[in-house]
Structure 1
Amino acid sequence: MASVSLSDPAVQSYILYSGVLALKVLGVAILTSRVRYTKKVFANEEDAKRTKSKVKHDDPDVERVRRAHLNDLENIPAFWILGALYLTTSPEAAWATLLFRLYAAGRILHTVVYAVTPLPQPARAIAFGVPFMITLYMGVKVILHYFTAL
């Protein structure tokens, strides 16, 4: 197995973009709250009472932001795991950095075109598909690297 060092530019890039993605996930949670407060729509009775709002579980704007957040929670952890494993395969730093950068940009763009300023397809499909393919690529590279080492 390859040695992974914090002085490796690929590792530094992974750490940088992992931090960006973590803040992005937190930002979408805040965006969900903002949409709820703006629309005066909450999922819990105690929140609705406190703000003199209503309980509603099917507001389209809130649900769109929640789906974007759920999509992050389904996809970004896979990037964190596979990206870290990918680093153990000693990828070229410039290539790894490009993959991490494109992944982060794609996930940010996905939130923008899905939850902030909804755009017609194929904008969301592309913004989802590029990062998904990067994650898939890293996973396959990890499997091939270690399968051939057996």
Structure 2
Amino acid sequence: MANLMEDELFRAFTTYAAIVIVKMLLMGPLTAYYRITRGSFANIEDVARKSADEQKKLLRTHPDVERVRRCHLNDLENIVPFLGIALLYTLTGPELSSALLHFRVFAGSRILHTISYVCALPQPCRSVGYFAGFIVTSSMAYRVLSTVLFL
């Protein structure tokens, strides 16, 4: 494992993989923050100490909470495939500059997507963030398949 971490290409992959994983992990506390500040809870045990009337008011959806939840789901749908494809891409031995471009654009696109989604920025901000990441993942998948395709 120590030898693997000496490889610049693999270190680049682990750096950007860690960045997008941490970004995705932070969406959980952000959802909790929005739930608490908006008074919008999903489970009865979250409001069990409240009166029945208060429980009815608090067990509801709120547009801001749902926005953050959808952003988190979008992360799961895009970051998880990126991690697998990026690892395979790294194993194909691309140029470091090409790999860094892919990894940086993907990480930047996910950050842009999150800011656009949570802050409700006007379109096409969120779409640009999404499609940039999708194109990067597709590009890496193409490289992997064109390198190792076995029929």
Question: What is the TM-score with the length of structure 1 in the denominator?
Answer: 0.90
The question of 1:108 aligning with 2:111 is answered yes
In the alignment, which residue of structure 2 is the partner of 1:126?
128
- Contact conserved, 1:17 with 1:100, CA < 8 A, in 2? yes
Q: Distance in 2 between matches of 1:102 and 1:39?
A: 33
In the alignment, which residue of structure 2 is the partner of 1:43?
42
Give me the CA root mean square deviation: 1.7
- Contact conserved, 1:10 with 1:94, CA < 8 A, in 2? no
Q: Distance in 1 between matches of 2:40 and 2:49?
A: 12
Which of 30, 55, 59 lines up with 2:59 in the alignment? 55
In the alignment, which residue of structure 1 is the partner of 2:72?
69
SS in 2 for 1:114: helix
Letter in 2 for 1:36: R
In the alignment, which residue of structure 2 is the partner of 1:22?
21
In the alignment, which residue of structure 2 is the partner of 1:80?
83
Letter in 2 for 1:55: L
Deviation at 1:50, TM superposition (A): 4.0
The question of 1:90 aligning with 2:93 is answered yes
Q: Distance in 2 between matches of 1:36 and 1:12?
A: 37
Q: Distance in 2 between matches of 1:30 and 1:109?
A: 19
Question: What is the TM-score with the length of structure 2 in the denominator?
Answer: 0.89
Letter in 2 for 1:83: A
Deviation at 1:100, TM superposition (A): 0.5
Identical residues among aligned pairs (%): 40
CA deviations 1:84-136 (Å, max 9, x no partner) are 00011110011101210110111011011101x11111000001110110001
Mark the runs of 5 or more structure 1 residues left unpaired by the alignment.
none
Aligned length: 144
Bigger radius of gyration among the two? 2
Q: Distance in 1 between matches of 2:126 and 2:22?
A: 21
In the alignment, which residue of structure 1 is the partner of 2:9?
10
Deviation at 1:6, TM superposition (A): 2.5
